[in-house]
Amino acid sequence: MNPTPMTPTPMTASPYPHLQAVVFDWAGTLVDHGSLAPTQIFVDAFASFGITLTLDEARGPMGLSKRDHIRTLLEHAGLRAQWTARFGRPPGDADIDAIYERFMPMQIEHVGRYSAPIPGAVEMLAALRGAGLKIGSCSGYPRQVLDVLLPQARADGVWADHVVAGDELAAGGRPGPFMALANVLALGIGDVRACVKVDDTTPGIEEGRRAGMWTVGLSLSGNETGLTLAQLQALPDAEVAARREAATRRLVASGAHLVIDSVAQLPKALAEIDARMGRGERP
């Protein structure tokens, strides 16, 4: 007698059939609510040269590679005037190098203090992997800093299939498309239009747009609002709404297709993007 044929177990359809990968930033996106690790260390590094830099000023160029970040800060009229008054000359390339060399060991020493996952990030990444999406990532952090951050983040459940550091590519970093496209190559993605770049900074959103990807900005978890979770939760609802609105304006102006509070809301945003692709829309 022939055995009764087994009924094959139906495969669960992906909730995102038109998408292939999501490329994430790190600080302020997956870890470090408020993106404090880089900003506070910039303040401390400049202070070691006798230069006063506020946290808001430090946040201005966030998303760039750290050397480019320092260069951009020193182009600010107020900081340039401070430097000239203290050292008798405007800052030059050697001064950028000197601040960077002071910044790096401070950043390496302290980045682990700010490696806690954004609430919902662990569950979100698991859901995306369960849906068959590949997970890429890139950062303004140099590789030396990521070598400290990544093992701690992974121990907490946050990891990516591929990571590109801000100092690894000869072509440069943000707002150019190079780190995002390096993820496309490494992950074997067939169409950049099937990728979503998620970032809490305007240069990171510009990076995704220049790479031809969909882009999702984060209004409350990262650099644009710049508060720890405890600080954010302590604000009145009206103040949170005002900060969300201001951050959303900046992120949309930089090219974000969608803006959400944090990566905890990303699955819903991806479903919207996938539906738009199903209607024939492209980034």
Catalytic center residues:
25, 66
Q: Report the b/e string of 137-148 with b at 16+ CB within 10 A.
A: bbbbbbeebbeb
DSSP-derived pairing of the beta strands 162-164 and 258-260: unpaired
Listed in sequence order, the residues at least 6 apart from 35 whose beta carbon sits closer than 8 Å to its beta carbon are 27, 28, 59, 62, 200, 222, 223, 226
Other beta carbons within 10 Å of 158: 25
Could you tell me if 211 and 254 are in contact, meaning their C-beta atoms sit under 8 angstroms apart? no
Give the orientation angle of helix 36-47 with respect to helix 66-74, to 10 degrees.
50
- Extended beta strands in 52-115, E state: none
Nearest to 223 by CA among 89, 121, 94, 118: 118
Nearest to 165 by CA among 148, 190, 189: 148
| C-alpha–C-alpha distance, residues 224 and 248, integer Å | 9
H or E element in which residue 216 lies: strand 214-218
| C-alpha–C-alpha distance, residues 264 and 199, integer Å | 13
Dmax (CA) for the chain in angstroms is 97
Note if the bond before 203 is cis, omega within 30 degrees: no
